[in-house]
Structure 1
């Protein structure tokens, strides 16, 4: 399976000539979902869910389907009947030839005064890749490649390190990093690499790795 990093929280997975795109939000490239056979969205925040771009992707190819939680599905399902699927914690499905398990229910706490939105993570192909969205969800399943949200208003590096230790993946690649400056990246790389307990890598947008 080829994993291609797009800007911020979006990744593309390619296998057997088919493409699965996760979280092509407003911080990612405008064409991040182009050519996708299926799209997964973890939650409603605009850096993960860009309604206009998703509508364009679904309109451009009538074979493309979307799997997401209710708050996102409700915005699109009427316009694309039968192609927008609502999923939640514990669900399993197959999208574009990828087997997917859904883990998690809530976004991480940004501040106690702010209500928490729903959030789901997607475990792909029996643990080959796990994208948690905006939460530090630990799936009840071994994970080979963890996509770790390394910088956000709701986390700090010590929490990310402990998260990696708890998941115990074979390898970690950074996501949720659009607001992380080049000046700070070596600090994050050093701490995650030295303390996380897993092989840590960082992919520049547009670059790929086999997982």
Structure 2
């Protein structure tokens, strides 16, 4: 598996000879220039996960690429004449030899004035590859055993204690921090260090992947 971090929560996942793009948001860069994509996946309809301008343009530019999104984003795209398959927990789908398992249903609670919109995390599995869990913006889904956690490191809805507890519950072998656009380098290192020190997962590795860089797992 090869992961390319395109900023914030956007990942290009290359596994089992497939290229899957997750959460092309407005804090992310470079996703328009990736060439072939085998799937475009979106966890929820906030602009930092699906850019309201560049996202639909990306879908139009990849007219033959399957698009799977949370139900609200699918509705929003349909209003623009664009087709997306709504993802729902319990409804697995395949992208070549990659099985995608949707998990969870709602965005984490932010504030009483902000409605909880749909958020569907994604677990990617393929024979001979590490498994990956991208939770979107929630810590409550149950993905089962996973090797790599794309971990939302910082968010208005997340306390550090909840972030650490989430990693401790999922117990991945590797954490790749995402949802980090609001952090300075020092803040990023501090939050990641807290996870390594306090999550209580033996042998845990935190792999920092800077914007635009890739890691082989």
Q: Same fold (TM over 0.5)?
A: yes
**In 2 relative to 1, CA 46–140 (structure 1 residues): closer, same or farther, beyond 3 Å?**
closer
CA deviation vs aligned residue, 1:26-50 (integer Å, no higher than 9, x gap): 1100535732221100001000011
* Structure 2 residue aligned with 1:204: 210
2:63 is equivalent to residue 62 of structure 1 = yes
How do residues 1-211 of structure 1 correspond to structure 2 at under 5 angstroms? Answer: 1-32=1-32, 34-35=34-35, 36-77=37-78, 79-81=81-83, 84-125=84-125, 128-196=131-199, 197=201, 198-211=204-217
User: Secondary structure, in 3 states, of the residue corresponding to 1:183?
Assistant: helix
TM superposition score normalised by structure 2: 0.89
Measured after TM superposition, the shift of residue 55 of structure 1 is: 2.0
User: Secondary structure, in 3 states, of the residue corresponding to 2:53?
Assistant: helix
**In 2 relative to 1, CA 162–153 (structure 1 residues): closer, same or farther, beyond 3 Å?**
same
**In 2 relative to 1, CA 149–33 (structure 1 residues): closer, same or farther, beyond 3 Å?**
farther
Whether the 8 Å contact between 1:10 and 1:22 is mirrored in structure 2 is yes
User: Secondary structure, in 3 states, of the residue corresponding to 1:51?
Assistant: coil
Taking the aligned partners of 1:166 and 1:28, their CA distance within structure 2 comes to: 28
Pairwise CA RMSD: 1.8
Whether the 8 Å contact between 2:6 and 2:30 is mirrored in structure 1 is no
User: Secondary structure, in 3 states, of the residue corresponding to 2:31?
Assistant: coil
TM superposition score normalised by structure 1: 0.91
Aligned length: 209
Gaps of 5+ in 1: none
Whether the 8 Å contact between 1:33 and 1:57 is mirrored in structure 2 is no
